[in-house]
Amino acid sequence: MTRRLIIDTDGGIDDAVAIWWAASDPRIDLVGVTTVGGVVSAEDAARNVLLVLEAAGRPDVPVAIGANDRLGPSPELRPADFIHGSDGLGNTVRGRVPAGTPLHGAIPLLDRLIDGMTSIVSLGPLTNLARLALELPRQAAAVDQLVIMGGAAAGGGNALPDGEANIAHDPSAAAVVVGAGWANPPLMIGLDVTHAATLDDSDFALLAEKRTPAAAFLDAPLRFYRPFGATFTAPACPCHDFATVLAFIESSFVTDAPILPLAIATAPGPAWGSTIVDFRAPAFARSGGSEQASPDGFADWRIGLGVDRALFRRRARQLFGD
């Protein structure tokens, strides 16, 4: 049985890997992609998605342009062109025009596609999903499973001292998404998982052989991405968004994902854009029932903490032609 999936993306290099996998995995029915400004504008992200889908043989998947602006005040972040290139795909698609044409309006496409059996994987800032939750709360509540690439449970960010990039781009939107009325506790795939799911020299050597259409398309972008994408994990390199799609479809990939209270720091200051996970409940349970209530603003989420790196590498090498 296949699982219906919508991807929300900001059009970067690791997004391209994730989208290619979702478009070609027979277990996934990729029914639509929406774009949000982040790595590049929502319009450029839509171009990148269309190029990936065309190369992957899936031009049938509808793509809709979503939000560029933010739901609320946001930190000033350095553009990610040093990681993803000015075009979002390692400066490999500048000037290329896809054959397909994107739709305008992420929310109408989400409204049309969500049917109670459809899941969403978010790979960028959470602005589109916050607007879905605010404008169409019944449709948000009908999402089967929400999985986001964002945040860090154990502390330490990549865009800010304690802020992961997707959350820090729009903390107010992230706070809305965290507190929205989802049918099931969403799954957060943060840096705790993605920094443990990495590719090494042998994986990049296989990629360079270009044995598959995916490897031929992704080789140059991933080589551009590797030097700064691996800042916190060198010499191995994470592929955050690919790990997030695997977390959606591979039940054994995330090895530890307890349900814990989650909140977002939305106020300017040292913690702006951070994900705050309340780890006290398991400790209280182990101590015989002592407990304290979480402050306002927390909601129960599944928090990814452990990952099967061997499975991640097997799936990457499968994509690259091993």
Which residues have a catalytic role annotated? 10, 240
Instruction: Please tell me whether the peptide bond between 235 and the residue prior to it is cis, using omega within 30 degrees of 0.
Output: yes
Q: Cα–Cα distances in Å, from 155 out to 83, 133, 164, 248, 277? A: 22, 27, 10, 23, 9
Tokens of 125: 């800032």
Q: What span, in angstroms and rounded, lies between the C-alpha atoms of 173 and 28?
A: 27
Q: What span, in angstroms and rounded, lies between the C-alpha atoms of 265 and 272?
A: 5
- Tell me if 150 sits within 8 A of 264, measured CB to CB: no
- Tell me if 132 sits within 8 A of 104, measured CB to CB: no
Residues 6+ apart with CB under 8 A from 314: none
- Tell me if 124 sits within 8 A of 167, measured CB to CB: no
Q: Cα–Cα distances in Å, from 151 out to 77, 138, 233, 239, 285? A: 15, 26, 17, 15, 25
Tokens 């996970």 belong to residue = 277
Q: What span, in angstroms and rounded, lies between the C-alpha atoms of 232 and 38?
A: 20
Closest CA to 7 of 43, 54, 45, 39: 45
Q: What is the CA radius of gyration of the chain?
A: 18
